[in-house]
Every structure is written in C-alpha cells, then in structure tokens.
Amino acid sequence: MAAVQPSSMDTQGAAVENHHPPPAKDDPRSAPQEQSVDNWLPINASRNAKWWYSAFHNVTAMVGAGVLGLPSAMSQLGWGPGITVMILSWIITLFTLWQMVEMHECVPGKRFDRYHELGQHAFGDKLGLWIVVPQQLVVEVGVNIVYMVTGGTSLQKFHDTVCSSCKHIKLTYFIMIFASAHFVLSQLPNFNSISGVSLAAAVMSLSYSTIAWGASVHKGKSPDVDYHLPASTTPGKVFDFLAALGTVAFAYAGHNVVLEIQATIPSKPEKPSKKPMWRGVVVAYAVVALCYFPVSFVGYWAFGNKVDGDILVTLNNPKWLIAMANMMVVVHVIGSYQIYAMPVFDMIETVLVKKLRFPPGLTLRLIARSVYVAFTMFVAITFPFFSDLLSFFGGLAFAPTTYFLPCIMWLAIYKPKRFSLSWFTNWICIILGVLLMILAPIGGLRNIIISASTYQFYQ
C-alpha cells in the first residue's frame, strides 16, 4: 500500500481519528464541530512553523534554571565524574531526541503530536496513557514550579544588587510579581503565538550563560579554592553525588515538549517534518553545549566547592553585569514557563472540552489557565528549595522521559534485531536511565528534608 502523506488539515484529522474516540451517539456535536474543537486546542491549532522555530523553542525548553545549578552539581561530583556525566548526558539525550523526532511520523499518514499519543502507539491505548501522562505532567508541572522559584529568586537578586541599602523584601512577593506576567502570557493560544517570547528567552539563555562563565573567568580562581567534595561524611558525599545526578538530569529536559513543537511544523511526502525539526534540534544542541559546558567547568574551576546552588548568587561583581544577568534569567524563564505550560494547557482543555463538554472559548481558557498559574505560584511560594527541587524532579521524572522512555518506545515500534548496534545502544541508555531514576531522587529528597527542617514558611 502506498504511503500517501495527507495535507496539514487532513493530517490533523487523521491524528484525531486515531487518537481520540469518536463522538458518542447522544453527543450533540457533529463531526465538523469535533474537528473545530480539535483545531482550537493549542497543539493542533497551527502548523506553519519554520525550522528555526524548532531551534529556539528547543533552546528555551532545554537551557533554563538547570544550567545555573550545574557548577554546584560539579562540586558534588568532582572533576572526573562531573565531566563524564555532563558529556555522556549530552550524547545520550541528543540520541533520544533524534529518536523522538524520527518517531513523530513513524506511521505513514499519522502524526503523533503529543508525547502520550506516541506512548499509546508503542504500548497500547490505556497502558500508553498511564505510562506517559503521569510522568509528563510531573515534569511539566515540576518545571513550572521550579521556574516560579527561579524567576522570583532572580528578581530578588536583581533588587538586592541594584539597591543594596533598600529594605529587604520577602521572596514570596518576588514570586508573586513573576507570576503576574504569566496570568497575561498564558492566554496566548498556541506554540506559534509564543514564538516571540521563546526567541527572546533563547537569546537570553545564551547571554546569561556567557555572563555566568565570563564573570567567573574575570574573577579568576578563588585563592582558597577547594575541589574536595563539600560533604565531610561518607553518607553525605553519597547523597550529594546522587542529588547532583538529578540536577544534571533536570538540565536535559527538552524531550517532554519535542513532539508538541514538531507538531507545529508542516509536513509533505517530499519534505517530512522531521527534516526541518532535526535541523533545529542540531542548532539547539550546539547552543546547549555552548551554555552548559563552559558554565559547569569554569564555574567549578573558579569557586570549587564553595559555589552556590545558583552560580549567579555566588557572583557579586561587577554589580551591573550580575544585575543584568539576573534580569536575563527572568526573561528566559518567562519563556520557558510558557513552553512547558502549553502541553499542560492542551491536556486541561482537552479534558474540559472533550470529556466534560465545556464549550471552547475565551472564558474557559481564561479560567483554566489562570487557575493553573495560581497553583504553580502557590506551590513555589510554599516550597522554594531551588537546587533541591532540581535534584528531586530531575531524577524522578526527567530521567524516564528524557533518558530511556524514548529508547523503550523505539524498541517497541521498530523492533531492532537482538544484539544489533541499535539494540545494544538502546539497552545501555535504558539501564543508565533507570539507575538515574532510582538513585537521583534519593539525594534530592534528603536535601529537601534538610532544607525544610530550618525553613520558615512564607518568610
């Protein structure tokens, strides 16, 4: 049977037919109305993106709060293990990202526009949902909570840097100020509508990463720099090592939105969406390398085990440059929050419109998205343990969705020959990813407990 790639609109219909149940007999909506509902949802709404949209969306999704915690992770890993983990993670996640790009249209005539749709194809309709959706939600909601903390912390650092004699303002208020921007931006309907915000965020990520390692070089190696592991006891060193693995896993988190980003790119038989998407991914990963490796290695070189969980907190001079870098972080995490929130908005609106039969429109979008932003703001205000949250969420959910779940789906869909290069490569990634998923949250949870024991809520 010849594989014919339908038009963009037909493809949307095919995806809907294959991944959503048909209307019930007593459902008053007609087929055209159902199609209209599908086209209203954020992920399906637009398919005219260019390859460079893929580049800056992926940079925005990947390079975020995590990069600022990498020097601290290096201090807990040490030089040898730290460099190994950083480079190995870059290679593995680039490989698994390539797999997801390839699997987006692994069935002729279909586009798997959402992570859970690909999971349903690989594991079955029910099992696929139960495997993918909880993990994806933990990742995306977790990132949004951490970015609330990051945005508020960076605003506070900016305020304290430019006005050191001013009255101290609680972090709670800065998180609320940061959240106020998202009550507005969350009303943008789909990925293409936030492309300007995403582009600005991608530029900011490269800029503040450059400032972070450039200012570290300018400051030079601290005279009392110490590269020994910061913990004094063996259990402390082990737990810190595990937490650092989670921090690194958090830094490589863009896979959770890659299919949704690729869904915005048009596809034709002679030019499938994977070609422009992969071009954008390669550019994005080059930017990731330019951000992650210098910040990690130079930051650790300059400060050793005295580096903070956020490298910009450690840097104090020149003040104007550090203030500017913190505002760049704020702009970037504004864009990153929206990139990770969009698939969540899609899930929420799908349930409300398709399952609960609410009429699609501005009112539903305004209420649903505002409630979500308020929820992430409240959790961030309540638990602002920045570096510990990175470790815990990084291991618990980012490792599966980034390091090994794409490999499992690849084995299920393509069934490579046993003991072939593809088979071995995927199983190595799966084993390393499972170890990361099991071990990293242990260190992160311990550090959260330690932080919580001395923390006063809403101070």
Return the half-sphere exposure (C-beta side, CA atoms, 13 A cut-off) of residue 245.
Answer: 25
* CA dist., res. 399 & res. 391, Å (int): 11
Dihedral over alpha carbons 311, 314, 320, 323 (to 10 degrees): 60
pLDDT for position 457:
59
Contact residues for 108 (Cβ-Cβ < 8 A; gap 6+): 3, 4, 5
Q: Which residue has the tokens 């309540």?
A: 382
Which tokens hold the place of 105? 């249209």
CA 142 vs. chain centroid, Å, equals 9
- For domain 49-454, give the CATH number: 1.20.1740.10
Return the half-sphere exposure (C-beta side, CA atoms, 13 A cut-off) of residue 424.
Answer: 3
The answer to whether residues 396 and 146 touch, using CB atoms and an 8 Å cutoff, is no
CB atoms within 10 A of CB 167: 5
* CA dist., res. 230 & res. 227, Å (int): 8
**pLDDT tens, residue order, the chain (459 aa):** 444 444 433 443 444 334 444 444 444 555 666 666 666 776 655 667 777 777 878 888 777 667 878 888 888 888 888 999 899 889 988 999 999 889 988 888 788 888 888 888 988 888 888 888 888 888 888 888 888 988 888 898 888 888 777 788 888 889 999 999 999 988 887 777 777 888 888 888 888 888 888 888 887 787 887 788 877 788 888 888 887 887 787 777 777 778 888 888 888 877 888 888 899 889 988 988 888 899 889 888 888 888 877 677 777 667 787 788 888 888 888 888 888 888 898 888 888 888 888 887 888 889 999 999 999 999 888 877 655 666 676 667 777 888 888 999 999 999 989 889 999 999 998 998 888 888 878 877 777 777 666 666 565
pLDDT for position 411:
92
SS (H, E, C) the chain: CCCCCCCHHHHHHHHHHHHCCCCCCCCCCCHHHHHHHHHHCCCCCCCCCCHHHHHHHHHHHHCCHHHHHHHHHHHHHCHHHHHHHHHHHHHHHHHHHHHHHHHCCCCCCCCCCCHHHHHHHHHCHHHHHHHHHHHHHHHHHHHHHHHHHHHHHHHHHHHHHHCCCCCCCCHHHHHHHHHHHHHHHCCCCCCHHHHHHHHHHHHHHHHHHHHHHHHHHHHCCCCCCCCCCCCCCHHHHHHHHHHHHHHHHHHCCHHHHHHHHHCCCCCECCECCHHHHHHHHHHHHHHHHHHHHHHHHHHHHHHHHHCCCCHHHHCCCCHHHHHHHHHHHHHHHHHHHHHHHHHHHHHHHHHHHHHCCCCCCHHHHHHHHHHHHHHHHHHHHHCCCHHHHHHHHHHHHHHHHHHHHHHHHHHHHHCCCCCCHHHHHHHHHHHHHHHHHHHHHHHHHHHHHHHHHHCCCCC
Q: Which residue has the tokens 């959260």?
A: 448
- How far CA 197 is from CA of 252, 333, 335, 340, in Å, comes to 21, 10, 5, 13
pLDDT for position 65:
62
Which tokens hold the place of 202? 């991608």
Nearest partner of 397 among 88, 93, 136, 114, judged by Cα: 136
Which tokens hold the place of 367? 């209420």
* CA dist., res. 74 & res. 76, Å (int): 5
Which tokens hold the place of 343? 């698939």
State the chain's maximal CA–CA distance in angstroms: 76
Q: Which amino acid is at 436?
A: L
Radius of gyration of the chain (CA): 22
* CA dist., res. 129 & res. 120, Å (int): 6
* CA dist., res. 157 & res. 194, Å (int): 27
pLDDT for position 14:
40
Nearest partner of 251 among 437, 61, 66, judged by Cα: 66
Nearest partner of 41 among 401, 368, 374, 371, judged by Cα: 368
